[in-house]
Amino acid sequence: MKVLCTLPMTDAATCQLSGKAEVIVLRDQSDAGCREAVANADYLVVRSQLPDDIFDHAPRLRGVVRHGTGLDMIPVEAATRLGIPVANVPGVNAQAVAEYYVAGMLAFARPLARMETILRGQGWNAGRALAPSATELSGKTLGIVGVGTIGRRLAQACACGFGMRVLGMQRPGATLPDAVQPSSLADLLAHSDYVALCCPLTSATRGMIGAAQLRSMKPDAVLLNAARGAVVDEPALITALQEKWIRGAALDVYARQPLQPDHPFFQLDNVMLTPHVGGMTAESSSAMSAGTVRQLLQMMAGERPEHLVNPQAWPGRRAAQGGRE
pLDDT tens for each residue of 252-272:
999 999 999 999 999 999 999
CB 42 within 8 A of CB 17: no
Average pLDDT over residues 89-110: 97
Number of continuous H segments (helices) and E segments (strands) in the chain = 12, 12
- Whether residue 322 is contained in a domain is answered as no
What CATH number corresponds to the domain at position 54?
3.40.50.720
Classify residue 218 by burial, with Cβ atoms within 10 Å: 0-12, 13-18, 19+.
Answer: middle
Cα–Cα distance between 32 and 43 in angstroms, integer?
18
Do 146 and 191 belong to one domain?
A: yes
Average pLDDT over residues 104-133: 96
Over residues 133-152, the pLDDT tens digits come to: 999 999 999 999 999 999 99
At 154, the amino acid letter reads L
Q: How many domains does the chain have?
A: 2
Cα–Cα distance between 86 and 99 in angstroms, integer?
28
Do 300 and 211 belong to one domain?
A: no
Do 102 and 230 belong to one domain?
A: yes
User: What's the Cα-to-Cα distance from 267 to each of 114, 116, 238, 241, 264, rounded to whole Å?
Assistant: 16, 21, 10, 10, 5
pTM above 0.85, yes or no: yes
CB 209 within 8 A of CB 230: no
Cα–Cα distance between 116 and 131 in angstroms, integer?
11
Query: Which residue range is the domain that position 145 belongs to?
Result: 94-273
- Whether residue 319 is contained in a domain is answered as no
Cα–Cα distance between 281 and 283 in angstroms, integer?
5
At 93, the amino acid letter reads N
